[in-house]
Structure 1
Amino acid sequence: MPYDWKRPSETVQELHLWPHNSLPPRGVMAAVLGVFALGTIPMLAVLGSVLLWGLLPFVLLAVLGLWLALEMNYRHRRMLEVLTLTDDQAHLVRHNPRGRIQEWHCNRYWARPEMHKLGGPVPNYVTLIGAGREVEIGAFLSEDERIALYDELVLKMRVPSVSPG
């Protein structure tokens, strides 16, 4: 799962969410080199002729286009959401790919997760409601991961009971 619960202290819980990257950087390198290698095979037949110089730019453009597309995909998926739950506060910070940071905080008593089965930008859209706002969380997760996240949020966001002192 591309999210993880951490417990920095006894009274604080943190949920870190990030988009899933199925192709690691080494895989990107292998894919680009593979396309280049497969693109050079047809050029072996015209090696030493003028046709080689006619085919070479198209092979290089295909390899460059693939590399740029994969790099852009990595850049767009470079985001992180951190939900911090303390005894009395819920605080969500979203680090967007271009460096912009969005924050939401609320009294934990009033904060609650909500699942929109239909009507959201994705099926089973999960939001947090509180402090007069509704903010999305984990929209980049798969449908099954959003359902599991919602179930965990319902359990974790219960207001901790305060024992009489």
Structure 2
Amino acid sequence: MATEPDLGPDSTEPKLFSARLRPHRALSHNGFLILIGLVGSASFAAGLAFWMMGAWPVFGFFGLDVLALAVAFKVSFARARESEEISMTCSQLRVRRTSARGEVAEWVANPLWVRLEKKVHHEAGIERLYLVSSGRRLAIASFLGAEEKASFANALLAALDTARRGPLYQP
């Protein structure tokens, strides 16, 4: 004899969708050190050549270029700590965003009332994705490229459709 599944508040609903999005960074920490070493060496050699020609103030400007590059990469690495987690069950859609500083913000909605809105450019493809519910609009998946956003949007739309149809329990 088959038993009815427990639908009480303590039951765990199956996840219909789960994704963790992080910004893509092509350069590792070791790659950063190698790049700064190469650029620093080239700048030092060029600056030394100018110094020997008598244009010694130029030497400092080559050092500023290397410093600016290092600061830009440090900011990029700090932003790489950002993440976005999107999970959905039949009764709850949760978006949890973690900033580069570690601050966490959550947005929770009923998936029956959530609509996925796309901002599409005719040449570039999907530029932005928004979750819209109860007059609130939340931008999601900003880390992804246009093709990745399209794939992500299709998967999320399928999960939203599954949530609208209701849980499929097979006793």
Partners of 1:45 and 1:17 lie apart in 2 by 47
What does 1:148-159 correspond to in 2, within 5 Å? 148-157=151-160, 158-159=162-163
Q: RCO (CA 8 Å, sep 6+): is it higher in 1 or 2?
A: 2
- Relative to 1, partners in 2 of residues 1:63 and 1:107: Cα closer, same or farther, differing over 3 Å? same
Partners of 2:55 and 2:37 lie apart in 1 by 19
TM-score (norm 1): 0.76
Partners of 2:57 and 2:137 lie apart in 1 by 56
**146-155 vs 128-137, which deviates more?**
128-137
- Relative to 1, partners in 2 of residues 1:127 and 1:56: Cα closer, same or farther, differing over 3 Å? same
Unpaired segments of 5 or more residues in structure 1? 1-8
- Relative to 1, partners in 2 of residues 1:60 and 1:110: Cα closer, same or farther, differing over 3 Å? same
Instruction: Look at both structures and tell me which one has the larger radius of gyration over its CA atoms.
Output: 2
How many residue pairs match? The answer is 153
Percent of pairs with identical residues: 24
User: Cα deviation per residue 1:20-53 (whole Å; 9 max; x = unaligned)?
Assistant: 1122222211111111111122355578x69596
RMSD (Å), alpha carbons: 2.8
User: Cα deviation per residue 1:49-77 (whole Å; 9 max; x = unaligned)?
Assistant: 69596454223222111101111122234
Deviation at 1:139, TM superposition (A): 1.5
Unpaired segments of 5 or more residues in structure 2? 1-11
Deviation at 1:128, TM superposition (A): 1.3
SS in 2 for 1:109: helix
Q: Is the 8 A contact 1:105 1:131 kept in 2?
A: no
